[in-house]
């Protein structure tokens, strides 16, 4: 990232924070406060990045869709007592995204403003029209307990642009879009493909997602980044004309026919390097007849090669699809932060990048849009095949299923009704592993209920859920589905 001195005609960005010794107030210019989930006021049609904008100002919106009210900013006791810094400050920052500029992907405009006579203000000049992330950090005070705020907008020509900022991690539309853009900046494989109007594009793409989901940030990033990559670039390789499999060439790992196959990028949240021809991509929680392949690049020769289905390690022998390199060619895999799939796994699939030499999962992701996720509020580690999910007050005709994943094999494991421990013998429904294999589950912070045959997944009103370890006779977490659910489900310890 870089800080540039820009010359053009001026843009005024002003944020005011009024403080007194006990409460203070936040200046805002909107007589009818916008809803943070009504993003239309933040966006407009993309404009050429060579043009300049006229004026922009910040406005803080709280989680209840209201602007920060009068007398809302309070000085911290330490600041009031003169501990550390003896005055409150507000840091205003604008991060401009520079499409097509890999060397300088962003331009940062920053001012740290002290509170003088109860007022903090910041003025920025000469800001071009780009997609912008705005943020405010309050040091020595807070607004409704919050000290960090952010938002994003596509700046427009000759309009009174207002950068609405909301508390970070608040799960509003503004918060999610700002988070997506922040992640895109640090994901080179996606950033290099962005176009002007990115905030508007993101708003449109995430409109159907559940903002209350605990994985909303990851789900939204995946949806937006996949759209960016699919819109701006198509990766092609040559393969055989057969409908069933690739005919592998030992020197390249790619078939030698003439038909064209498109590969769709699915971004990871980490960059992987130092791997060789033995790397595997494992896809779980997919139908047994699902087939795909992943294109990789040899870092030494720059040749492309395929990871395709290993019949011996996949369905029906195991509950997974393992993609591995064919042939005996030694390779040094080029570093990557994106998987190029010939067919993207369906919603709900769990994708693992696995190193069989160390038996380690290097990265994983979930294809969003499937099932009902019940966040636990804590992460459970080192659970095994004996784990039970116990449900009471559930209709006796209900047959919910919970999907888990084996840490060693990356197989999907379904916890289904255990007839011996459930209705009608007992007034409860107990879900246990569907097979007798010894397992150690991957760490998990939510329960994923399959809703393919039951739209509720068994999560009807007044159902009581326990995550139970029969080995230690310990309830690890419990939750009561409320009569009138509000927000996200949260299991409590």
Pair of tokens at residue 392 = 């009471």
Residue 180 sits at φ, ψ, to 5 deg, of -60, -50
In the predicted model, is pLDDT for residue 482 greater than 80?
no
In the predicted model, is pLDDT for residue 6 greater than 70?
no
Distance CA(389)–CA(432), nearest Å, equals 7
pLDDT tens digits for 336-361? 999 999 999 998 899 999 988 888 99
Most confident region among 41-55, 99-113, 384-398 by mean pLDDT? 384-398
Higher pLDDT, 102 or 430: 430
pLDDT tens digits for 442-462? 999 889 988 777 666 677 788
CA–CA distances in Å: residue 358 to residues 272, 309, 362, 409: 15, 21, 10, 13
pLDDT at 138: 86
In the predicted model, is pLDDT for residue 255 greater than 70?
no
Residue 301 contacts by C-beta under 8 Å, 6 or more apart in sequence? Answer: none
Query: If pLDDT is split at 50, 70 and 90, which confidence band does 483 have?
Result: low
In the predicted model, is pLDDT for residue 222 greater than 90?
no
Whether the CB-CB separation of 375 and 488 falls below 8 Å is answered with: yes
Residue 403: which of 369, 377, 441, 436 has the closest Cα?
A: 441
pLDDT at 235: 37
In the predicted model, is pLDDT for residue 375 greater than 70?
yes
In the predicted model, is pLDDT for residue 388 greater than 80?
yes
Beta strand extents in 69-200 (DSSP E only): 73-75, 89-97, 106-114, 119-120, 131-139, 141-143, 148-154, 160-167
Do the bridges between strand 321-325 and strand 89-97 make them parallel or antiparallel, or are there none, so unpaired? unpaired
pLDDT at 392: 93
pLDDT at 214: 75
Most confident region among 26-35, 41-50, 424-433, 457-466 by mean pLDDT? 424-433
Model's pTM, two decimal places?
0.52
Residue 280: which of 352, 366, 365, 364 has the closest Cα?
A: 352
pLDDT tens digits for 61-106? 875 455 554 444 555 555 444 444 447 888 888 899 999 887 888 9
Average of per-residue pLDDT across 259-276: 82
Whether the CB-CB separation of 304 and 296 falls below 8 Å is answered with: yes
pLDDT at 139: 84
Average of per-residue pLDDT across 32-44: 44
* Percent of the chain residues topping a pLDDT of 70: 71
* Percent of the chain residues topping a pLDDT of 90: 33
In the predicted model, is pLDDT for residue 306 greater than 90?
yes
pLDDT at 422: 94
Higher pLDDT, 50 or 4: 50
CA–CA distances in Å: residue 351 to residues 180, 224, 322, 366: 21, 18, 10, 6
Whether the CB-CB separation of 109 and 27 falls below 8 Å is answered with: no
In the predicted model, is pLDDT for residue 431 greater than 60?
yes
pLDDT at 418: 94
Higher pLDDT, 77 or 11: 77
Domain boundaries in the chain? 12-231, 235-366, 372-480
Most confident region among 148-157, 217-226, 423-432 by mean pLDDT? 423-432
Distance CA(271)–CA(335), nearest Å, equals 7
Higher pLDDT, 317 or 281: 281
In the predicted model, is pLDDT for residue 253 greater than 50?
no
What would the DSSP string read from start to end of 422-456? STTTSSSEEEEESS----BBPPEEEEEE--SS-TT
């Amino acid at each position: 990232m870089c800080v540039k001195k820009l010359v053009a005609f001026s843009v005024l960005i002003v944020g005011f924070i009024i403080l007194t010794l006990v409460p203070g107030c936040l200046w805002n210019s909107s007589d009818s406060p916008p809803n943070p989930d009504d993003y239309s006021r933040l966006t407009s049609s993309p404009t050429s990045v060579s043009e300049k904008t006229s004026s922009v100002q910040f406005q803080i919106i709280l989680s209840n869709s209201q602007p920060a009210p009068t007398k809302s900013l309070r000085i911290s006791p330490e600041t009031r007592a003169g501990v550390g810094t003896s005055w409150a400050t507000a840091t205003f920052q604008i991060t401009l995204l520079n499409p097509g500029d890999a060397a300088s992907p962003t331009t940062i405009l920053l001012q740290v403003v002290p509170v003088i006579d109860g007022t903090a203000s910041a003025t920025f000049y000469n800001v071009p029209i780009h997609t912008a992330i705005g943020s405010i950090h309050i040091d020595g005070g807070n607004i409704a307990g919050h000290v960090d705020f952010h938002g994003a907008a596509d700046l427009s020509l000759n309009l009174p642009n207002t950068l609405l900022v909301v508390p970070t991690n608040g799960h509003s539309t503004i918060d999610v879009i700002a988070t997506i853009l922040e992640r895109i900046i640090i994901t080179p494989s996606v950033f290099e493909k962005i176009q002007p109007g990115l905030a508007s594009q993101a708003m449109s793409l995430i409109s159907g997602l559940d903002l209350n989901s605990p994985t909303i940030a990851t789900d939204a990033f995946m949806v937006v980044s996949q759209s960016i990559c699919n819109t701006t670039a198509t990766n092609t390789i040559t393969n055989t004309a057969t409908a069933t499999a690739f005919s592998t060439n030992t020197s390249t790992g790619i078939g030698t026919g003439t038909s064209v196959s498109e590969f769709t990028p699915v971004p990871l949240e980490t960059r992987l390097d130092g791997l060789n021809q033995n790397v595997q991509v494992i896809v779980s929680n997919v139908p047994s007849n699902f087939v795909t392949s992943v294109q990789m690049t040899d870092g030494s020769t720059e040749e492309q090669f395929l990871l395709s289905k290993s019949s011996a390690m996949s369905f029906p022998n195991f509950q997974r699809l393992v993609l591995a390199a064919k042939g005996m060619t030694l390779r040094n895999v080029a570093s990557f932060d994106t998987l190029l799939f010939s067919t993207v796994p369906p919603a709900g699939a769990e994708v693992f990048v696995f190193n069989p030499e160390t038996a380690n999962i290097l990265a994983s992701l979930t294809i969003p849009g499937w099932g009902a996720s019940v966040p636990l509020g804590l992460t459970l580690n080192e659970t095994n095949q004996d784990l039970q999910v116990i449900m009471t007050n559930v209709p006796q005709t209900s047959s919910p299923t919970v999907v888990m994943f084996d840490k060693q094999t990356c197989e999907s494991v379904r916890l289904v009704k255990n007839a011996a421990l459930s209705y009608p013998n007992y007034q409860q429904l107990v879900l246990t592993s569907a097979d007798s294999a010894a397992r150690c589950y991957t760490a998990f912070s939510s329960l994923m209920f399959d809703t393919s045959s039951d739209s509720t997944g068994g999560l009807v009103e007044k159902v009581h859920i326990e995550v139970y370890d029969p080995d230690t006779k310990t309830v690890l977490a419990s939750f009561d589905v409320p009569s009138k659910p509000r927000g996200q489900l949260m299991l409590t310890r």
